[in-house]
Structures are given as C-alpha cells and as structure tokens.
Amino acid sequence: MRSIVKDFNLGLVIMAVAILFCITQCTKKQESDEVSTGADSVKTKNSVMQTTTDPVEPPISKTESVAAKVGIANKRTKTAERPKEPVAKVDQADTGVNTDEQLAEPDAANREVAVGVSETAPPVVRKEARVMHSVRIESNPSGARVVLKGKRSGGRYEGVTPLDIQVNPDWYNIEVSKANYIPNSKSELVDVKTRDKVEIHRQLIADDGVEGLMLQAERAEAEEDWVNAVQYYERVKSVNKAQYFAAQNRMGIIYLNHEDDLEKAINSFKEGLKYKKNDYALHFNLAQAYYRAQDYNIAIESVNEVSRLKARIPPAKLPGIEADIVFLIGNCKYALFRNETDIQTKNKIGYQAIQAYSDFIDQAPVTLAQYEEKKKVALEALGKIRKDVQ
C-alpha cells in the first residue's frame, strides 16, 4: 500500500514539473514574439522614411506592367499633341487690325516638344518662341482699306492705311482699295530671312482719269471683254484729248483683229492720227486695215509713211518693223500682180513684189519665231510670181 502511494506522489511531481516547463516555454515565446514585432515596426518606419527620399518600385505582375505601359503611352501622346490655340482678336482701337482667324504657325514656331519622356518621370515641355514681323502699309491717297491674305497659311488681316501690324512669315496677297480708285493687288513676301520690317507703299489710280481708264480698258482686253474695253477707251477723249490717239489705236486694233469691222478700224486709226499725225504705229495699223479691205494702193501709201518715220521708231523695234514694212509691201504688190490684166504692168508689179519679198527674207530677224511663217509665205509667193512673170 505504501508503495502505491509513493508511486502516485512521484507521478504528481513529474506532472507538475512538466506543466511548469510548458508554462515557462510559452512565456519565453510570447516575449520573443513581442521583441520581433517591435523590430519589424522599427524596420517598417525606416523603410517609409527611405521611400520618401529614394522611391523603390515593388515588383509588379505582367498584367500590371502592360497596364502601366499603356498609361504612359497615353500620357506621352497627350503631351506631344499641340494644344489648340484660341482665335486671335486684335483690338481695332489699338492697331486698326481685326484678325478673323489665326495664322497657322511656321514649322519651327510655337510648338510644344516633349523631352526626356520615361516610364518613371513626367515629360519636360519646352515652348519655342513665336516669330512675328512688323509690316507698315501706306497708300497714296491714304485712308484706303487693306486686306492681307496669307498664301500658305490662309491667314487674313484687315485695316486702313497707314497701317502698322504684326504678322507671321508668309507670302501675302495685299489688296489696297478705295472708293473712286482702281484696286491695287500685288503679292509681297514677309520673311525673317529677308527683312525684319517690311514697308509697303501703294499708289492708287483714280478710276476716272486717263491712266485709270486705260488700265481698266487693258484689263477688259485681257478678259476679252471687247465691248467694255472700247467704252473705256472712248471715255479717254472726254478726259484728256492729248492721250486720245493711244485709245484710238487700241480701239482700231480691237475692231481689226477681234470684231472684224474694217470700216470702224480704219476710222479709229484715222481719228487717232488727227491727234498725233506722226505716230508710226497708227500709220502701220492703218496700212494693215487697208490691206485687209483690199485697198492695196492706199495700204502701200500708209506703210510708206512708216518708212518716213523711222527716226521715231525705238532702235530695239526697228529691225522687226522694217521687215514688216517690206513684207506688207510684198503682199500688196502680189495681190495687185494677180489682179492686173495688162502684161507690161503686170510684169512691172511682179518684179516689185519679188524685190519686196527678197528684202524681207534678208531683213527678217532670225531670232524671232513669228517670222518663220512669214518666210514660208514669201518663198511660196516668190515661186508663183517668177513662174508667171513673162
């Protein structure tokens, strides 16, 4: 019995020692965990402080990497896009300019350039300076309306002379207009490579003066508006009779070459000679009109007047006019030769035609293509005349 009790007590002691050992180990483990937790907290704080000064990106998955790259690409595209500038409006009271639309910038002006774009840093944007130039436009008389239209950019500026404006480099069509004056429209280059400041002066011509009427008539001729051209020329007489001969010459040419009215052509040339009897152009054109009217002898008389006025012909034009004179004489003589029935008279006229055509072939300027066709006519006529002369 004692032996059993003794064994039981020993078992209790062993059990108590085991429980005590377990409690001790648990206590040590809890203290170790608290120490570890404190160290991790300190480490986390240090990591946060480090992140504020030296960012470190955590590893990302493939899906997150693709998304990040797409976002950066979109950001780069938005940065490289040029922002739309507002329409320029310049105060009329300050400069006299009312710009309806902004001039397109030149290639190197006022554009944004993205520099140093990367996945970890935002792009740096540099804006280049705009290049503008001063333009002063004057007119005589002043107070004229000015419209500038850029040929490359399509930009438009408006104002009244004298006008000072700032424009972009471009080719501009500049039109200056005023009531009772003929509009003056010409192109002008405004470019930094040529001039820093452009000064433009336009002389306006009154539309009811001789110069204005002649200019409007010439423009009507260029448009083949023969009726209005003649009307402008006829108004010259009422303004300045001294210049009426030039208007009459132009009217005669219109009637001769475009209206096919030989009677009006002859009367116009003869009317012009009343105001300037020694004008070689009027005499020569009158001779051609008589030739077309088949009045060959009077045509020869008129063209001989041109020979008499050689001293008045500019030296540069003289060789061509001399050739035209003998060619017209040859044509008149050839026509008379064909119509003549008397053999003796016919032969005489034939030799005169041969002489005129031969002189033309010798005198015709070789550098002018228009005389090549006339030479063919002269050579063909020479062959026929020599064959018929007895």
Torsions phi, psi for 334 (to 5 deg):
-65, -40
Contacts of 117 (CB under 8 A, 6+ apart): 76, 79, 123
Q: Are 152 and 169 in contact (CB under 8 A)?
A: no
Residue 257 has pLDDT above 50, yes or no: yes
CB atoms within 10 A of CB 183: 15
The SS3 assignment for 196 reads: coil
More confident residue, 10 or 310: 310
Minimum mean pLDDT range among 126-130, 177-181, 183-187, 336-340: 126-130
Q: Closest by alpha carbon to 146, among 129, 160, 166?
A: 160
Which residues are paired to 148 by β-bridges? 157, 174
Q: Which domains does the chain have, with CATH numbers?
A: 92-103+123-205 (2.60.40), 210-388 (1.25.40.10)
Question: What average pLDDT score do residues 275-299 get?
Answer: 95
Taking the alpha carbons of 351, 354, 358, 360 in that order, is the dihedral positive or negative? positive
Between 276 and 5, residue with greater pLDDT:
276
Residues 379-388, mean pLDDT to the nearest whole number: 92
Average pLDDT over residues 290-315: 94
Quickly list DSSP for 72-91: HHHHHHHHHSPPPPPPP---
Query: CA-to-CA distance for 261 and 327, rounded, in angstroms?
Result: 23
Whether the per-residue pLDDT at 81 is higher than 60: the answer is no
63 pLDDT above the threshold of 90: no
Helix 343-363, helix 318-339: angle, nearest 10: 160
pLDDT in tens, 214-247: 888 888 999 899 998 999 898 887 777 778 899 9
The answer on pLDDT for 75 being more than 50 is no
Please work out, in degrees rounded to the nearest 5, the angle formed at the alpha carbon of residue 379 by the alpha carbons of 378 and 382. Answer: 85
pLDDT, tens only, 199-213: 788 888 877 788 888
Q: Which residue has the higher pLDDT, 336 or 35?
A: 336
